[in-house]
Structure 1
Amino acid sequence: MRPFHRNIARAITKEPKVYFFDSGCVKGDDGIRFENTVAVSLLKNAHYHCDASGKLQELHYLRDKESREIDFVVARDGRIQEAIEVKLSDSTPSKNLHYFKQKYPNIHYTQLVLNLPQAREINGIRVEPAAKWLMNLAV
């Protein structure tokens, strides 16, 4: 997965993230495996929307020059629609989500948490139980 960038040449030269459809290939801690699971689910959802509506939906990550990063951004028509951060148990919205929300307020921001009993909203950022949120994807 490549970073989001309006300039295609710059996006190509930036370091991509690699995710695996076969989760048995994922090495690392639970957080890395969980992020991989969310990546595959979001990619399937993007492909479904493209197939069903004919509209391209892209999946990227977002990183600025100061290395602030959001795990996933969903873009349509070259514009970010949604920013998604993935956490195992931290239900406090990440400082990077807060930073980008201040800079780009018209994007929908969500933090998915694996171990979270109930959804809530903090300063315009949705903090959602991951299982419930993923179940509501189109695929």
Structure 2
Amino acid sequence: MLGHKLRSYRKKQGISLADLSRQTEISKSYLSYIERNVKQNPSIEVLKKIAAVMDISVEELIGDTWTELYHEEEEELLDEEWVLLIEKAIQEGVSKEQFKHFQEYIKYLKWAEQNKKNGGTLHEQ
């Protein structure tokens, strides 16, 4: 979604919504609508202004890079909340390796819980 990408680019570059508004001469509320996906089809002129300030191409801004996160054969894979959580984790410096370790830890917890329910001990496999 364009809004998620815009917010992500803006935050990565350390640009506040007010700064982006001032530099693009687009109202802060309108930019907020775009970021929250309330306004999903801004004009090409608006996109050009945003892209210019962020020093990216319009194509990069509207490209399909997030498509795989949202749809695979028309089936939603990640909802907005998941995407925002992932973006926040990335912004806070969580690496792919750390995320993989966390996944393994969750798998272990599920295994331990299931093993306990089945009357086994944690040392059995």
Higher helix share: 2
| TM-score clears 0.5 | no
Relative contact order: is structure 1 or structure 2 higher (C-alpha 8 Å, sep ≥ 6)? 2
- Pick the structure with greater CA Rg: 2
Larger fraction in strand: 1
After TM superposition, the score normalised by the length of structure 2 is 0.28
